[in-house]
Amino acid sequence: MKVVIVGGVAGGATAAARIRRLDEQAEIVVFERSGFISYANCGLPYYIGGVIEDPEELTLQTPESFFSRFRVNMKVRHEVTAIHPDKKTVSVTNLETGEALEESYDKLILSPGAKPTQPRLPGVGLDKLFTLRTVEDTFRIKEYIDRNHPKSAVLAGGGFISLELAENLRELGMEVTIVQRPKQLMNPFDPDMAAFIHSEMRRHGVKLALGYTVEGFEEKDGGVDVLLKDETPLHADMVVLAIGVSPDTHLAQEAGLELGVKGSIVVNDRMETSVLDIYAVGDAVQVKHFVTGQDVLLSLAGPANKQGRIAADNICGGDSHYTGSQGSSVIKVFDMTAASTGINETNANKAGLDVDTVILSPMSHAGYYPGGKVMTMKVVFEKETYRLLGAQIVGYEGVDKRIDVLATAIRAGMKATELKDLDLAYAPPYSSAKDPVNMAGFMIENIASGVLKQWHLADALPRDGSVTLLDTRTVGEFAGGHIDGFVNIPVDELRERLGELDKSKPVYVICQSGLRSYIACRILAGNGFECYNFSGGFRFYDAVMNDRCLIESATACGMDK
């Protein structure tokens, strides 16, 4: 059996190694148009920033090491230019010599990946304008910085690569501005949770121009002007386009393979395309979202590796199936960690799901053990069924641990109420006896049983006197900032001051994190009041509202966009 693989990196290289492990006699040929067959794509920004010092650390395997270990013929700087399913061959060009050749196959795996989205805008070809996707891109940016010592950069786009690059450029001492058409960074997060990411970026000197549309680029004064719709241009010494990626599927299209979302390759759960004996994996393929069942395009390394393994299994006579992607991801944002899994509230609503959320601010470990830090968790679940749909966490310690637990719970089909039953490891330096994941489960169980009723930031509170608005924080906390219209009765004084409240009116309660206001609601409910607890607390409210102010009213809020 002869297997030809188009593209290395995650999916293609994984498939090649797996095929060899399953079939010692198979002939395996990999064509990779870049000079690198397997590299740490996610590590590229950290080489630019100097965190990773040795460029060889980015290269996980070389053609020589891969051949030595697996006897796989890795041909770098070779571009496949056409697929001929009728003849079961591919046309290949040696990019170094220009030589054209034709290679036959019994099985073909397409792992072309994705390419940086290149908008059709004036000035896209300027030499001070870069994209970051490959090792070659990385070296080009690194060389430019080392040679020219730019003082400023504009990054167009607000996804993973942009945020990681922003951090690394700031560490080099550069002024950095991120410009993004949506009014938030990191689309896997809801806008309210993205507010904490925005705050961390601003705290480290990154300027955010959110809600701005890029219309082109012009060379000016030795640098580049980023032209914005209806706004003053942003000037910088260099610009990096990081506005997303598009599946690189022109070969598949020309060969007549069925295409799907955004031109991605349609595959079944065995990673088989619409053409016999052709498989496809990685960033170029359409997959099912594990939570919604919808067709999606998710460009992440973990799924690409799994898909490469599945394609290899099936080529070698196995019966492996890809059960879908749920988009689990994590990112370092300066000192903060932000992570998500499943779907957020925004996308759940778009999918027509009837959802609710809980927002909590637990400590990363036991409060009495030194060094604990607050994290903010948002868990999304379906009303009525309490099906667990997704989660987002931002914080400084223990974020990755909790998101992995929640990702596993989603994959296992657990209900959100069952999070309370998880038996998770506890020692004071690492967690609390009631882990933050358990706490989310307790809160959701209280909702399911009717013990807890919530109000959310999106809810419009009546301001006509028909309800009581109550803040149960201390007098000092209240004086330091509160929502207009709320009266202050500290929770520890509430029982003695119930006479100050009108029992005929529903009471909407807030505190700093949601805990004291929940206790207040239990006191009120036990005394005949109807009570609603604010999800997230004043800390959450204040962070989100400040962020909205900075985005919507730059002049009023004193922000230099």
Residues that are catalytic: 42
Q: How far is CA 460 from CA 310, 359, 546, in A?
A: 49, 18, 18
The DSSP secondary structure of 63-83, one letter per residue, reads HHHHHHHH--EEEETEEEEEE
Contact (CB, 8 A) for 145 and 157:
no
> Taking a C-beta distance cutoff of 8 angstroms, is the pair 544, 534 a contact?
no
- What is the residue type of 509? V
Query: For residue 410, which phi and psi values (nearest 5 degrees)?
Result: -65, -45
Tokens of 335: 């000192």
> Which SS3 state, helix, strand or coil, does residue 420 take?
helix
- Strand duo 107-110 + 278-280: pairing: parallel
Q: Give every CB contact of residue 370 below 8 A, 6+ residues apart in sequence.
A: none
Decide: helix, strand or coil at residue 238. strand
- Per-residue burial over 69-89, b if 16 or more Cβ lie within 10 Å, else e, is ebebebbbbbebeebebeebb
Return d(Cα 57, Cα 194) in angstroms, integer: 32
Structural tokens at position 558: 């004193």
* Distance in angstroms (rounded) separating the CA atoms of residues 25 and 8: 21
Helix H, strand E, coil C: the string for 475-538 is HHHHHCCCCCCCEECCHHHCHHHHHHCCCCCCEEEECCCCHHHHHHHHHHHHCCCCEEEECCHH
Treating both helix axes as pointing N-terminal to C-terminal, what angle do 63-70 and 9-22 enclose, rounded to 10 degrees? 20
